[in-house]
Amino acid sequence: MFVKLAGRTVVIIGGGEIAEGKIPGLFVAGARVRVVAPTATRQIAAWAGQGELLWVAREFSPSNLEGASLAIAATSAAGVNHAVFQECEDRGIFCNSVDDTENCHFYYGAVVQRGDLQLAISTNGKSPALAQRIRKELEEGYGEEYAGWLEKLGATRDVLRAKAGAPERTKALLHRLASQEMFDRFRNSSAAALRTPAARTQVGNQPEPLAEGRARGPWPAATAKVYLVGAGPGDPELLTVRAARLLHAAEVVLHDSLVSREVLDQISPVAKIIDVGKRAGQKLLTQDEINALLVSYAQDHEVVVRLKGGDPAIFGRAGEEIEALRRAKLPFEIVPGVTAATAAAAAAKISLTDRRAASQVLLTTFSRGSDGALMDWSAVSSATTLVLYMPGPDYAEVSRRLLAGGLPRELPCAVISAASKASQQVRWSTISHLATEAKLPAPALLIVGYVAGPHVQEISEQAWSMLEVALPASPVSRLI
């Protein structure tokens, strides 16, 4: 129970070891402690002799509760504990009877304390042993460094609230400072300071005011860094934990048009968000301009995120941006994401590497530019799963190019649109029938290969009849 007890009277009925164990926490809370018991432990007697508590050496009587805000019945006599509880009930005083849930207004939780940070676990009195076990686990997960971090959070909060800033912006800044990313930076900075005595400098008792969402003063000074982050296929629950933390901590985010609104909603409300993607095939910015923006923002901000749909290193043009950051001698990190190929396969409920039908996977894009005619399909065999990113709206052209490359007419394929989103669609076909399929909305992806074949119920009987005649001994026949 998180109660301000400073200066308030708490009466403990009982003078044994259980009663003794309740007292130190009350001292920390600043309570005035009154112990009522004919006899008491040596420690309780010592505290009484030092004037730290009042010991009334007699049996309990209702008058002992005068002026009490809280009472604890810690005797070994159930009748006494019940009498204490009933008297408290009549007087409107909260009472806890140790190990007696029926005679309690509140329960003691198992507590992990790190300075002013208190984590309390309660089982409503059903299993104190379980509460103790969970407490030990929390003690391992929340180290002593949380006490210092909370002190800095509190000091920063006081500074921000003293300023005449917009309340919503102040709230957003405080949430950002309390993020896991900021704690990791604080912990790493503290560890580095302990390793390097010369780095221990006194910054002062109060942090500097925050400007543009950046943490200064006692907060760890981190080198500016650019994060090339994979946004995944669109479902925010498919973001990696690291990606989500970086979006919460970001000061600037440059994102592509394929990044979903649900993922963009995960970005810190104080971050500057810049759309650098395509609209209807038209680029808002050239790649050189995007590179220049990354370098410029990284020079003025600590956490710059380049957010790309799927995985940044797969058809995300990350190579040019990496080169630009290296030329500028700026640190960067690639944070992988769930790429469209695996998201689409999951949506279609198929395995890209089903060992009964495929021994390799080829990821490529369907280019309609001048380099499209140079695409070499000779490496694609019947044991290959071909994944075509961005097949575009002209399925007939895709079908012609695949057939011209020597792929079987009745090789199964699947078009997956908006994988992982609420609008997700999957259409099953074959290469020869692909030209007649209705177009699915972008973003879409095409999976070609026998791994797309087991879904007989999704494909017309005519198509599969043709397939069985054309390829009677193929792996897909065995799968059927």
CATH code for the domain of 68:
3.40.50.720
Q: For residue 223, what pLDDT is reported?
A: 52
- Cα 460-465-471 angle, rounded to 5 deg: 125
Q: Do 317 and 264 share a structural domain? A: yes
Q: For residue 464, what pLDDT is reported?
A: 40
Of 60, 87, 108, the last residue of a domain is: 108
Q: For residue 59, what pLDDT is reported?
A: 94
Of 181, 197, 213, the last residue of a domain is: 197
SS3 148: helix
Rounded distance between C-alpha atoms, residue 189 and residue 35, angstroms:
46
Rounded distance between C-alpha atoms, residue 12 and residue 22, angstroms:
8
With respect to residue 291, please indicate whether it lies within any of the assigned structural domains.
Answer: yes
Q: Do 433 and 305 share a structural domain? A: no
Q: Do 299 and 346 share a structural domain? A: no
With respect to residue 121, please indicate whether it lies within any of the assigned structural domains.
Answer: no
* Tokens 């694609």 -> residue: 380
Sequence-distant (≥ 6) Cβ neighbours of residue 121 within 8 angstroms: 109, 110, 111, 131, 134, 135, 138
Q: Do 467 and 351 share a structural domain? A: yes
Q: Do 230 and 101 share a structural domain? A: no
With respect to residue 116, please indicate whether it lies within any of the assigned structural domains.
Answer: no
Q: For residue 181, what pLDDT is reported?
A: 78
Q: Do 359 and 469 share a structural domain? A: yes
With respect to residue 435, please indicate whether it lies within any of the assigned structural domains.
Answer: yes
Domain CATH number, residue 254: 3.40.1010.10
Do the beta carbons of residue 113 and residue 51 sit within 8 Å? no
Do the beta carbons of residue 232 and residue 238 sit within 8 Å? yes
Do the beta carbons of residue 303 and residue 181 sit within 8 Å? yes
Q: Do 333 and 269 share a structural domain? A: yes
With respect to residue 405, please indicate whether it lies within any of the assigned structural domains.
Answer: yes
Q: Do 346 and 474 share a structural domain? A: yes
CA distances, 165 to each of 157, 182, 422 (Å)? 12, 22, 39
Of 314, 338, 362, the last residue of a domain is: 338
Choose among 36, 40, 105: nearest CA to 65: 36
Amino acid code (one letter) for 278:
K
Q: Give the range of the structural domain holding residue 442, as residue numbers without chain letter.
A: 341-479
Q: Show the DSSP H helices in 66-144 as ranges.
A: 78-91, 128-141
Q: Do 418 and 316 share a structural domain? A: no
With respect to residue 134, please indicate whether it lies within any of the assigned structural domains.
Answer: no
Structure-token pair, residue 56: 């009334």
Global pTM exceeds 0.75: no
Per-residue pLDDT in tens (0 to 9) along the chain, 480 residues: 678 899 999 999 999 999 999 999 899 889 999 999 999 999 999 999 999 999 999 999 999 999 999 999 999 888 899 999 999 999 999 999 987 888 888 877 778 888 888 888 888 778 888 988 898 898 888 888 888 888 888 877 777 777 666 677 677 778 877 888 788 877 776 665 554 443 333 333 333 333 333 333 333 434 578 999 999 999 999 999 999 999 988 889 999 998 999 999 999 888 889 999 875 556 678 889 999 999 988 887 888 999 999 999 999 889 999 999 999 999 999 999 999 999 999 999 999 998 888 888 999 987 665 555 556 666 677 788 999 998 988 999 999 988 888 888 999 999 999 999 999 999 999 999 999 999 999 899 999 999 998 643 343 344 444 444 444 444 333 333
Kindly give the pairing relationship between strand 32-36 and strand 9-13: parallel
Q: Do 368 and 333 share a structural domain? A: no
Q: Do 22 and 99 share a structural domain? A: yes
**Distance of alpha carbon 269 from the chain centroid:** 16
Residues taking part in catalysis: 256, 278
Cα Dmax for the chain: 101
Q: For residue 151, what pLDDT is reported?
A: 85
Q: For residue 283, what pLDDT is reported?
A: 66
Choose among 221, 240, 233, 235: nearest CA to 258: 233
- The upper half-sphere exposure of residue 403, i.e. CA atoms within 13 Å in the direction of its Cβ, equals 14
Report the number of distinct structural domains present in the chain.
4
Q: Show the DSSP H helices in 280-331 as ranges.
A: 287-300, 318-327
Q: Do 357 and 324 share a structural domain? A: no
* Tokens 């396969």 -> residue: 345
With respect to residue 103, please indicate whether it lies within any of the assigned structural domains.
Answer: yes
Backbone angles phi, psi at 143, to 5 degrees: -75, 180
